Amino acid sequence: MTTTLDQLPIRLAADRDGAFPDLVRHLQDGVYSGVLQFTRSRQDAEDVTQETFVRVYRALGSYDAARIRNLRLRAWVWTIALNLCRNRARGAARRPEAPLVGDRADRFEDAAAQALDNAGLEEWRRRLAALPGPQRAAVVLHHVVGLPYAEIATSTGRSESTTRSDVRRGLAKLRTMIEEEAR
Amino acid sequence: MTNHEPIVEELGALHRAAPSDLLDTVLQGVDLADSYTEIAGPTGHAFVAWNGRGITAFVPVDAAGTREEFEKRHPRKAFFVDVPPQPLAKYLDHTIKTGRLGHLPVDFSSIGEFQRRVLEKCAEIPPGEIRPYGWIAREIGNPGAVRAVGTALGRNPVPVLIPCHRVVRTDGRIGSYAYGSPMKRQLLEHEGLDPAAVESAARRGVRFVGSDTTGIYCFPTCHHAQRIGDRHRVEFRSEEAARADGYRACKVCRPAA
C-alpha cells in the first residue's frame, strides 16, 4: 500500500480498476470491524463487507472523474455499508439467530485462538444492540472503527454536533449498563 | 480520542482484521482479478490464468511474451502467483498430462451460450483423436453452423486445455490454429497422431474406417477404428457408402447423426 487514503480518489478517478484493490486494502479492516457490530454473525459481517466493496466499485463506475476526485472516500463507503447493514437487519428479523461462537471455525487454528478472538465480541454486541440506532452507529464508527466525527456525520447524514452528542450519550448508556451488570 | 477510560479501550479492542480472502473475493466479485502462473504445457511453457470460477486463459509464453505483456493483454487484472491453489493445481496437472479436461473448471461466465456449447463439446474429444468442425456443429444441434463453430474454436480462451487442436477441416486437412498450424500439428503429434499420415489418407478420399467383423464404421482416429487390424479394415469415402455396404455408425465417435 503505497498510496495514502487521501490520494486514492485521484487515483480512482484516473484508473478505477488499478486503484480499487488499494481502496479495499485501506478500508477492509475498518469496515469489517464495524459491520461485525451491526450484523448477527461473522458470516453476515463478511457478506456485508464484500457486498459493500462490490457496490462501491459499481458506483464508482457510474460516477464521472470530477465526482470521484471529490469523494470523501471513507465516509462514502460507510454510507453504503450502513445501508446494507440496515437492510440485512430488516431481513434478519425473520431469520433465526446465528451465534458468533462456532461460526466460520475454519478461520481459526484452534479453539483457543477462536475464544481469544471472540473475547468481548458477544457481550459488547449485546450492549451495543440495546442502544438507539444512531447512538450505536456513532459509538461503533468512532470508537471501534476510529472514524472522526465529521466523517461519521457525512456517512449517517446527521450533523457533526449531533454525532458528538450521539457518541457521548451512547457511551453514558453503556457505562450504566456495565454498572448494572456488575451489581 | 482523548478519552482513555476502560470502556473506550474495550470498544477499541473490538477492532478485527478482515478475513484474509476478502480482497480476492471482492476483486473476483467485480471481475477485476485473476491469478496466473507459468506452467510447462505439452509443447512448451504457457501462462495460465484463473479466478474463483475456473480457468480463464491459456497462452503459450512464445505467443504472450513477458509477464507484463501477458498482463496487459489479459482482459482483467491478473496477479502472478508461483503455484496455483489446490485442487486447481492438481486438476491442471491432470489435464496437461492426460489431455482430458477432467475436473478442471473453466470460467465460461464471459462466454456466450453458443461458444460455450462448442467448447464443451470439443472437450469431449479424446486425446489422439480428431473430429471435423461439422461434427461439433451437428452434435450441438446446429448442423448448419459449421463456420460459426470454427470461429468459436478460434476464440477458445483456453486452447490445449480445451483441445480445439483436435478439430480439423471436413476434407481431412489439419487446418489453421490460433497459434499457428505448426503448433496444432505438434500438439497432435504429442498425442501420438501422425498429421501427415492423417492428411495423406484424407487426400486418398478416406473419411471413415470400418471393420468387416463388426460391421461398424468410425472416424479414422476413433480409438475403436485404430484397433482394427489391416486384414479387417475397410475404408469409406462417405457415410452413404458405408451404409450402402451394411455398416452402422460407431456409437462412441458418432460419425453420423
Q: What is the ipTM of this complex?
A: 0.87
Contact A21, B23 (CB under 8 A): yes
Does the model's pTM come out above 0.80?
A: no
- Tell me the chain A residues in contact with residue B29 when contact means C-beta distances shorter than 8 Å: 50, 53-54
Of A45-49, A76-80, B67-71, B77-81, the poorest mean pLDDT is in B77-81
Query: Which residues in chain B (153-212) have CB-CB distances under 8 A to chain A?
Result: none
B135 Cβ contact partners less than 8 Å away, ≥ 6 residues apart: B167, B219, B254, B255
**Does the annotation count B164 as an active-site position?**
yes
| pLDDT per residue as tens, chain B (257 positions) | 455 689 999 999 999 999 988 998 898 788 788 899 999 999 899 999 998 789 999 999 999 999 999 999 998 888 888 888 889 999 999 999 999 999 999 999 889 999 999 999 999 999 999 999 999 999 999 999 999 999 999 999 999 999 999 999 988 899 999 999 999 999 999 999 999 999 999 999 999 999 999 999 999 999 999 999 999 999 999 999 999 999 999 999 999 75
With CA atoms as reference, report the closest residue to B1 among A182, A88, A52, A145: A145
- Of residues B164, B218, B222, B253, which has the active-site annotation? B164
Residue in A closest to B1 by C-alpha: A143
Planar angle of CA A116, A120, A124, nearest 5 degrees: 155
B83 Cβ contact partners less than 8 Å away, ≥ 6 residues apart: B37, B89
- Tell me the chain A residues in contact with residue B7 when contact means C-beta distances shorter than 8 Å: 171, 174-175, 178
The predicted structure's pLDDT at residue A118: 76
The predicted structure's pLDDT at residue A89: 84
CA dihedral B61, B62, B68, B73 (to 10 degrees): -90
Percentage of chain A exceeding pLDDT 70: 86
Q: B18 — contact with chain A (CB < 8 Å)?
A: yes
Given an 8 Å threshold on Cβ–Cβ distance, is B7 in contact with A171? Answer: yes
Instruction: Identify which has the larger pLDDT, B56 or A40.
Output: B56
Spatial distance between the Cα atoms of B136 and B167, rounded to a whole number of angstroms: 8
Between B12, B14, B27, which is nearest A121 by CB?
A: B14
Spatial distance between the Cα atoms of A148 and A160, rounded to a whole number of angstroms: 10
Is residue A58's pLDDT more than 80? yes
Between B11, B12, B17, which is nearest A29 by CB?
A: B17
- Tell me the chain B residues in contact with residue A175 when contact means C-beta distances shorter than 8 Å: 7
Spatial distance between the Cα atoms of A67 and B208, rounded to a whole number of angstroms: 66
Upper half-sphere CA count for residue B51 (Cβ side, 13 Å): 23
| Main-chain dihedrals φ then ψ at residue B29, nearest 5 degrees | -60, -30
Residue in B closest to A125 by C-alpha: B14
Spatial distance between the Cα atoms of A98 and A104, rounded to a whole number of angstroms: 11
The predicted structure's pLDDT at residue B172: 86
Q: Tell me the sheet residues that pair with B51.
A: B54
The predicted structure's pLDDT at residue B1: 46
Residue in A closest to B30 by C-alpha: A54
Distances in whole angstroms, Cα of residue B235 to Cα of each of A36, B71, B197, B215, B247: 72, 49, 15, 12, 11
Spatial distance between the Cα atoms of B125 and B166, rounded to a whole number of angstroms: 7
The predicted structure's pLDDT at residue A107: 56
Digit-coded pLDDT (tens) for A113-148: 777 677 788 889 999 999 999 999 999 999 999 999
Given an 8 Å threshold on Cβ–Cβ distance, is A146 in contact with B15? Answer: yes
Residue whose grid cell is 488499478: A18
Q: How far A112 CA lies from chain B's nearest CA (Å)?
A: 16
The predicted structure's pLDDT at residue A17: 83
Between B10, B11, B26, which is nearest A24 by CB?
A: B26
Given an 8 Å threshold on Cβ–Cβ distance, is A24 in contact with B8? Answer: no
Is residue A104's pLDDT more than 60? no
Interface with A, mutate which of B22, B23, B34, B51 (most A CBs under 10 A): B22
A50 in the Ramachandran plot: left (φ > 0), alpha (ψ -120 to 50) or beta?
Answer: alpha
Q: B4 — contact with chain A (CB < 8 Å)?
A: no
Residue in A closest to B28 by C-alpha: A54
The predicted structure's pLDDT at residue A102: 44
Residue in A closest to B10 by C-alpha: A120
The predicted structure's pLDDT at residue B5: 85
- Tell me the chain B residues in contact with residue A117 when contact means C-beta distances shorter than 8 Å: 16
Q: B29 — contact with chain A (CB < 8 Å)?
A: yes
Q: B257 — contact with chain A (CB < 8 Å)?
A: no
Q: A25 — contact with chain B (CB < 8 Å)?
A: yes
Between B3, B10, B17, which is nearest A124 by CB?
A: B10
Query: Which residues in chain A (108-127) have CB-CB distances under 8 A to chain B?
Result: 117, 120-121, 124
